[in-house]
Structure formats: structure tokens, C-alpha cells
Amino acid sequence: MINFSRVSLVYPTSTKTILEDLSFEIAEGEMVLVIGSTGTGKSSLLRLINGLVPHHTGGILAGDITVGGVSTQLVRPGELAHLVGIVGQNPAQGFVTDIVEEELAFGMEALNIAPDVMRKRVEEILDLLALAHLRNRAISTLSGGEQQRVAIGSALVMNPKVLVLDEPTSALDPIAAEEVLSILHRLVHDLSLTVVIAEHRLERVIGFADRIIHIAGDGSAEINLPEEILKRSEIAPPIVHLARALGLSDVGLSVREVRRMTEEIRASGKDIPREVGQLGEIAIRTNKLSLTYGEKKALNEVSTQIHSGEIVALMGRNGAGKSSLLTTLVGINKLSSGSSEINGIKSVDLKGQVRRETVGFIPQEPSDLLYGQSVQGECQQADRDNQSAPGSTFALLKRIVPSINPETHPRDLSEGQRLALALAIVISAQPKVLILDEPTRGLDYQSKALLISLLKNFAKELNRSVLIATHDVELVAELCDRVIFLAEGEVVADGPTLDILLSSPAFAPQVAKVMSPRPWLTVSDVMRAVAE
Amino acid sequence: MKTFTSDIYKFSRSSKIALALTSVFAAAGFTWPFFASDMESARFAQYFFWVAMPLAFALLLTQLSDRSLDAKSVALLGMLAALLAALRPLGAGAIGIEPMWFLLILAARVFGSAFGFLLGALGMLASALFTGGVGPWLTYQIFAAGVIGLLAGAFAKDLRGWREQIYLLLIAIVCALGYGLLMNLQFWPWALGTNTQLSFIPGGDIQINLRRFISFHFLSSMAWDIPRAILTSVLVVTTGPAVLAALRRTKKRAAFLTPIEFSERLS
Amino acid sequence: MKSLHPLTWWIWSLLIVGAVVSANSSWLAGISIAGATILVWRFAADAPWARSFWFSLKIGAFILIIRTLVGILIGVPIPGTKLFELPILPLPSWLAGVRIGGVITQERLLSSIHEGLIIVAVISLFGAAVSLTSPHKLLRVTPVVIYEFGVATVIATSALPNLVQSISRIRRARLLRGDENPSWRSIALPLLEDSLSRSLELAAAMDARGYGVSRKRSRYRPISWRGIDSVVVLAAFLILSFTLAVFR
């Protein structure tokens, strides 16, 4: 279906060869996963399939790519729309119109498809993706999962043979991600659709993949069966790391497989003693905190305490009130009733410099914090704001990302580097509490590992508290001491990470699913349990 | 870099002719009070142009949409127009100050005058659709904004650094004052009526009418025009370099004019 | 009411404008303003563009007041029944020798109000057409020959509400960095950067989905002209014919 023959790619403004001499074939009905660190050319590879690269981006393409027998050299991307559907990283940015139905029809209108055919296909897609009840809704009012389904629908409505997705679940909570992935799975099996998908969170997709393309970063790439690739790849889901750490002969890709291989370990592993850390003084305290927007109750009598030295995860589905709680804590929202304070200062009194020095906040889009013209400029601004020694923020940044170029424009940084810059700026004010809203969106494993060690360091060495709103259960398992679970603005569970994550199957990390009923969340937990 | 100074979209020859014809028509739509021979024809001209200007503009658009706008230009046009429309009411409280002009001027400078024309027109339209400012005056505003975009992108494309700043400052002042002048010109006949001492005299001496208009303009809009010119120039000076840099980075990233090459093997 | 063709109210209001202008009667102007008000009040959807009419009425009232005041202050005197007299205040000669004040007659005042009312009627009829028609629907009947401009307008109108969200998000981020009074610039620049990169993403999506491939385009759910539309337009046309017959 897709055929790459000796493909090399260079972008016009750089001398770096993104891909070099790449050849492979993807058959009809295959589901292929593309993995690689940030910036290695995953998106480029995906966009080569329908000719967006180089037709849309410019560049030099050597070799030939054909899809369904059509060479991408000869036709523009739009002329392949009936063969290849593509769903971008951030679906919200790819919507042209504002109503679900019209968005689905946009591509067909452009291709001059007859109105009655359009009606029929739109209806089919609405049914297939369970969007029928949303047909007249404004897209901006939909949840992330619904938006992702609309984006997939507007690609599928052209009846393509190939569907290309760039990180389709990165913005979704685990349940919504599961919905989207199972739809893809069904499309592959029922309609024999060929699917090419790039995803950082391998644990979510690995079970569905027939083959993997691993892009190394030096221009080379390998395509092979998942078992083969994951035997060696440094990018791997937690269960593969588990298999490697345990020295199993085979890597299993599904929880079921690995469970079979590890029966003995589950039986023989020792109980690991719970770490009972000394709780520090109270850093965050809320008492019956409520928040209403108009008619809607966003938060309802939230009472909790977070101590210094603690790393706490705030979990719950999209719209459960996580962001509302975070912004209320730092005094951006006016609370309707109850009280909240950080470090003894009432949230509403946090203003200006006091806020900056009390609490550091990384919003969902770290780039919102940035408005300078260069990395250097941002760091200098932070130095001035904090009246700290010139260069200290940049020095901090250098320790996180040694390779960063001070002249780069903040917008041209990779997701991970941008997060690092925002973190450096926020930490440079030496806040007592650090709050992060969805920090791991779009981060590869490497950047995530860096973030984990940085936050651990911040909380444990400096004895400060960290509060993270996240969907990423693997991150929570690795990093957090405690989980607060929100649903419809209320705290429904609050306790040690171990207890909370194990009590809900949807939110259990992969290793825990493998090791159930033993209470081990991470690879290192298991290793400690089997250590002599 | 050469790519920095070239326009991303250019009018075709027939579009230029259409634009010239529409401009002549629009010029008549603005200046008819000086040429109306009597009361009856003045009345006719007022309502005729209110209806005919939108039609003329619609015709111009059909000509301009000649499939020469690629997806990148259209997306950029739509986004920037939305930004202009969002900026326009930010001057609220002081109607008419409208901080949108500086962005129009800078975008037209980076993306070229033909793009600037479309952007000005579309920005006005989008803003009117959302703030409810649709009325007979809308086409006049659309046309004036288009012309500002057209002019802002037309000249001295190679200037950079402080020279560019000064040039942009001049453009900002001329555009802000010029827009006020044009708006007053269309406002004059119908806001004032025909029988005040500042109204135009149908069939009257062109010099007297001109003096009356200048007095009207002076009396009615200094309070709006001067602040608008000051605001636009201040914005151009303070945010100009950063905004220009952002626009130029986008232009480069969008690879409007970068070559696409296919080859057998990478040499 | 949502089933009316989006052009219906536009044609209707143009015809009524023709009637009001050709009749040149304050009575008809007043009646049409009242009629438009009732229509908008009864039939306009609860949407942002529905505010247009009330906005037009405000502008109209403003224009009416201005015209009347200006007529009183610097109007050309019209002989007739004297109402009151203002002291005369000459302005410097370089201001076209304008003289403020003087005798105000009933005829003078009525003349200002009469002309003003007609202008207000025209403006409010435009406003009514806007209020009664969804701009999204209007864009969907724009002829395909202005497709590119139409798509750009759709993008602009769809993006505007998102911009408002982005602005509040960026403002919040400024507050978080301890900047209590974020400068205009520190909000505008991230907003611009955000929108620009969004437009590139959007362009890629459009390219991938077939934008600009076919010279012809089709319409999803084409909006058809129906009997009720003809009735509305015909009614307006009758009014126009009536005024042309009576007042000429």
C-alpha cells in the first residue's frame, strides 16, 4: 500500500539529513507504529506519506514514495486526500470550520463531491465514530477526545486507504485515549485500513502494532516486528523495561504475555516495605474550597493538605476540575467559598512578586509563559524579575539541557526544551511550591526521565512540594508520593500513590497490571522485590 | 535574504485591472459630494453608492479569487484577519482609536501589498460581523482598510533596521490620519445632512465644498484621529521589531518560496 | 424561522430601503424602523450577530441627535415659525466662516429630524438584515467563485472565539510569572506567535484535505430557496411598488 524506495530528505533551511536512504513497504491493513525521540523526524516521515513533505514544507526529496501506486512526486497532497487521511498532532489546530458536520464535509466540498454522496458519507462517519449526537455542536465546545474523533472522522470521510496519525492520544486522559485507540483498532480489522501512527506513550499503542519503524536520529531507520525492535530500542514501554530488567528471554508486548512469563516472580517476590517519609510542614491547605462559574460548579468543597517535600499528583478525567483547582490555589480564580492558602499566605493575597516567590506554576502550554525573543532574553528577564545574579537562570537551564543554544527563539525549541526553559524560569524564583499542569504532553521518554529526576531533586533535596495535574499514570507511578483523585469537582480519593493507582484498572500503570495482585507499580519496585 | 522581500501573493494582470476599476468607482463613492450637481442627484448618489459599493467590491472579490491563493496564504489571511478583528474593539472607550492598524501595516509589509489589501478588507469584514458594525458604511471601511494594506506593503521593501522603523512610523501616521480622512469623507454627507453650514452644497463651488469638508474634518475628528495616529505609531515603534520578526519567522517557516526538489539520489 | 434562505432578509431589507428612500417620508421611515424592530425581536436567533440591530439602533439614535444638534447650532437658517433663538457666536474666518447659533425655526428642526429619520431607517434595516441572518449561513451561500475569500472568512470567524480564550490563557500566564499588570505587548506577542503557528498547522491540514485541488466545489446541504422566501421578498417588493406609485 505504501512504498518507500531509497528515500532521503533534507529541509531547505538546514544541512541536516532528516532521513537517509530509507526503504520499506507497508501492506494493506497493517498498523505500523513510528517511534523515535523528539526531533528525529517522526512527523516528517508521516508527512512524507501524503506528500505534505516536501510539497507543503519545501525541501529536497530523493528516491520515490508511492501510495496505492501513486507517486507523491507527481501529485499535490490534496489530490491524495482520497488515499491518505492525516490527523495532526493537535487536532484543534487543524479545524477549518466551527461546526462538527461542516468540518466533516469540508474536504469533500473541496473535491467537488455531489451533495447526496456527501450526506451519506457524513452520516456513515457520524455513526462509525459515535459522533451523531454532536453533529451540530460547535467544535470548540467539545472535549479533547471528541475533538480527536472529529479530526479522525474528517480524514476518514474521504474513504482513504491509509490513515496517518501523529500522536493521537497525547492530549487525552487514559479513558478517552482508550476510546480513540479502540476505534482505530476496529478500523484496521473491519475495513482493512492501513494505519501509520506516531506515539510517545508506547504503553498505550504497543498492543495494536503489527510492525514498528524506529527512527534513530542520525537519518537511519529500522522497520521490523515490535518484538525485534523493542529488544534493543532505548524507547520502550514499561513492560519491556520490566522484561529486560528481569532478564526474560523474550519481550512481551501485552500485559497478558508478560503475566504468563512472570508468574513465578509474582509468587516469590518479597513484600517491599512501604516508605513512610516524615511529613514536613504544611505547604498547601484548602478547606471546603468551592468554585462556581456561572451555574456550573467547578469545585465542590475540596479540603486537602499538602506538605513540604511531598510530590502529589492530581488526577481525574478531562473537565473534572483539575485546572480549576490549580489556578484557584495560586489565586487566579476568585473562590466562591471556603479557603485556600499556600505557605500560610491566602491564595487571594498572592500577587506579583509574592506569588512568584511562593509558588511556581507551569501551565499546560509552557510557551504561554514565554514572550522574549530568545532563550537568553527570557533568562535575563527572569534574572531581573527575581533580582538574582545575571546569568543564574541560564546556568540553571544549562544544567537541565546542556545543549541548548541561547540565541534560539523560544518558539523554535522542541517541546521538551521549552518545558525546561519554563521550568528554569519558574524555579529561578525559588518558589516553595511547584505546580505543573499536564507537563508530559508530547514529551519523549528521555525528556520525561529528565523531568522526573529534576522534580524529585526539587522536592526531596530542597524539601519543597510539587503538585502535578496529569493523565500520565506511568509518570505518577515513577514520581509521586500521593494521588488526589477528582471527579466533577469533588475529591473522590486521596491517598498514597500505590493504593489509589491499584484500586482503579483504568488508571493502573502497566507494570502494576502485570504484577497484580502484588502491589508493585514500577520496574524498580519489582527489582527491589526480587532482589536478594 | 531575498525571500524576505518578496510578496507571497501577487495580483494577476486582470486582477490589477479589476482593482483599478473598482478603485476609480470607490473614489467616486467617496468624493461624490464635490461633484453632485443638485439636491436630487446628491440624494441619489448617497443611496446609490451605499448599494453599489458592496456590489462592486463583491465583483472585485470574484476576480481576486482566481485560485492563486494557496492554503498557507488563506490560513494566514484568516488567522491574521481574526487577530485584527480581535484587536479592533480593544480601543473601546475611545471609539475609533482601533489598535488594529499597526498589525495590518506590519503584516502587509512582510507579506506584500496584494496580501495586505485582502487582509485589510477581510479584517474589517470579520470585525464587523462580530461586533455588529454592519451598515452602509462597511464597504467604505473595508475598502479604506484594503488600500492601507496595499500601500503599507508597496514601498521600500529592502529597508531594515532603524531606517525601516522610521519608514514604518511615517506609514503609520499617514495611514491612521488617512483612514480618518476617508471615513469622514463618507460620513460627511449623511451624518451632517445637506443644510448646515458645514454640509456640502450640491452643485456648489468645489473650493467652498473642500473648505467646508476640511472644517468638518477638523472639528469632528481631531479627537479621534490624532490619538489613533499616536497610538499606531507608538505601537509600531514599541512592538514593531518583535512583531516583524515573528511574521518573518513565520514566512520563513511556512516556506512560501522555498524550492521543492526531487532527485534520484541525494548527492 | 431558521429555515429562511440567508439572502432573503438581505433582499427584503434592500427593497424596503428603496421604498423608504424613494418615498422620502418620515412616517414610512418610522414605520419601517418599528417593523424591523418587531421582526428582530420576534425572529432573531440568540447569537452574537443578533446584537447588530440594537447596535444599529444606537448608532442611528446617535446620528439623529448629532444631526439635530448640528442643525440647530450651525444649520443654514430656514424661514418659518420661530421656536427659540440662540446667541450668535462667530467662529474664526479660517473655519469657512461658520456662524454658531441664531434663530431656530420649526421648519429648521423638522428638516433635520426628517433627514435623520430616513438615515436611521436605512441603517437599522441593514442592521435587521444582519441580525436575522447567520453569517455562517451567509458564507455558505457565497458563490463558489469567491471560494478562497469565503474560506478565509470562515477561518477568521471560527478563530475569533478561540482568540478570546487564548488571550485569557496568556493573561493568566503573565499573572503566574508575577506580572500583575501585564503589558499589552506581553499578551499580544504570544498571541501573535500562537496564531501564526496555528495558521501553519491549519494550512497543512487544508492541503492534506484537498483544498484547492478541484476547480469546482460542491456544497454540503445546499441551502435552497423556498416558497416562504419568495413570499417575504414579494411582500417587500409590493411595499416598494406601492411607495413608488403613491409618492412619485
Give the nearest partner residue to A115 out of C157, C178, C222, using CB atoms: C222
Does C218 contact A90 at a Cβ distance shorter than 8 Å?
A: no
CB distance from A105 to chain C under 8 Å?
yes
A352 lies within 8 A of chain C by CB: yes
Query: CB C126 to CB B131 under 8 A?
Result: no
- pLDDT tens string A196-206: 999 888 888 88
With cut-offs at 50, 70 and 90, classify the pLDDT of residue B94: very low
For residue A195, what pLDDT band results from cuts at 50, 70 and 90?
Answer: very high
* pLDDT greater than 60 at residue B5: no
pLDDT band at B44 (very low <50, low <70, confident <90, very high): confident
In this predicted model, what pLDDT tens digit does every residue of B190-206 receive, in sequence order? 777 667 777 777 777 77
B79 interfacial to chain A (CB closer than 8 Å): no
Omega before A54 cis (within 30°)?
Answer: yes
A387 touching C (Cβ < 8 Å): no
Q: What is the pLDDT of residues A3-52, one digit of tens each?
A: 998 888 888 777 778 888 889 999 999 999 999 887 788 888 999 998 88
Chains touching chain A through at least 3 C-beta pairs below 8 angstroms are B, C
| Residues of chain B contacting C198 with CB distance shorter than 8 Å | 79
Q: Does A64 touch chain C (CB under 8 A)?
A: no
Mean pLDDT value of segment A78-82: 87
Mean pLDDT of A276-301: 84
When pLDDT is cut at 50, 70 and 90, the band that residue A248 belongs to is: confident
The whole-number pLDDT of residue C212 equals 78
Q: Which pLDDT value is given to residue C98?
A: 64
Residue A381 pLDDT = 87
Q: What is the DSSP letter of C93?
A: T
Is A191 an 8 Å CB contact of chain C?
A: no
Chains contacting B with at least 3 CB pairs below 8 Å?
A, C
The whole-number pLDDT of residue B92 equals: 46
Q: Could you tell me which chain B residue has the CA closest to the CA of A5?
A: B264
Q: Do C203 and B74 touch (CB under 8 A)?
A: yes
Q: Do B242 and A56 touch (CB under 8 A)?
A: no
Does residue A87 surpass a pLDDT of 50? yes
Contact call for A62 and B262, based on CB within 8 A = yes
Per residue in C160-182, pLDDT (tens digit) is: 878 878 888 888 888 887 777 77
**Could you tell me if A444 and A235 are in contact, meaning their C-beta atoms sit under 8 angstroms apart?**
yes
Question: For residues A211 and A2, what is the distance between their CA atoms, to the nearest angstrom?
Answer: 14
Flag the least confident range among A7-11, B246-250, C4-8, C145-149.
C145-149
Q: Which residue has the higher pLDDT, A223 or A231?
A: A223
Q: Is A384 on the interface with C (CB under 8 A)?
A: no
> Please, what is the end-to-end C-alpha distance for chain B in angstroms?
25
For the segment A428-443, the average pLDDT, to the nearest whole number, is 87
Confidence check: pLDDT of A230 > 70 = yes
Strands A211-215 and A31-35: parallel
Percentage above 90 pLDDT, chain C = 4
- Chain C residue whose CA is closest to A360: C176
d(CA A493, CA A472): 17
Give the pLDDT band of residue A191 (cuts 50, 70, 90).
confident
Contact yes or no for A351 and C217 at CB 8 A: no
pLDDT in the model for residue B267:
52
Burial of A361 per CB tally in 10 Å (0-12, 13-18, 19+): buried
Tell me: pLDDT of C95 over 60. Answer: no
Mean pLDDT, residues A455-459:
90
pLDDT above 90: percentage of residues in chain B: 7
Which of B72, B266, B267 should one mutate to test binding to chain A, selecting the residue with the greatest count of A CBs within 10 A?
A: B266
| Strand ranges in A373-531 using DSSP code E only, listed in sequence order | 433-437, 465-469, 482-487, 490-496
Q: Is residue B95 scored above 70 in pLDDT?
A: no
Q: How do residues A351-386 score in pLDDT, each as one tens digit?
A: 888 888 888 899 888 888 887 888 998 899 888 888
pLDDT of C2 higher than 60:
no
Distance in Å, alpha carbon of B27 to nearest chain C alpha carbon: 22
| Cell triple for A186 | 476496529
Of B71, B81, B199, the CB nearest to C207: B71
- Our CA-based measurement puts residue C217 at a distance from the nearest CA of chain A, in whole angstroms, of 4
Chain A residues whose beta carbon lies within 8 Å of the beta carbon of residue C170: 368
Closest CA to C205 of C146, C155, C165, C130: C155
When pLDDT is averaged across residues A405-420 and rounded to a whole number, the result is 84
B157 touches chain A (CB under 8 A): no
The percent of chain A in helix, strand and coil, each rounded to the nearest 5, is 40, 25, 35
Which of C151, C155, C218 comes nearest A113 by C-beta?
C218
Q: What element of type H or E holds A267? A: helix A263-268
Q: Is C177's CB within 8 Å of A356's CB?
A: yes
Mean pLDDT of chain B, nearest integer: 79
Grade residue C3 by pLDDT with cuts at 50, 70 and 90: low
Supply the mean pLDDT for chain A.
Answer: 87
- Tell me the per-residue pLDDT of A113-151, one tens digit each, with 9 for 90 and over: 898 999 999 999 999 888 899 988 888 888 777 888 899
Confidence tier at B119 by pLDDT (50, 70, 90)? very high
Residue B4 has a pLDDT of 40
Q: Comparing B155 with A5, which gets the higher pLDDT?
A: A5
Are A110 and C162 in contact (CB < 8 Å)? no
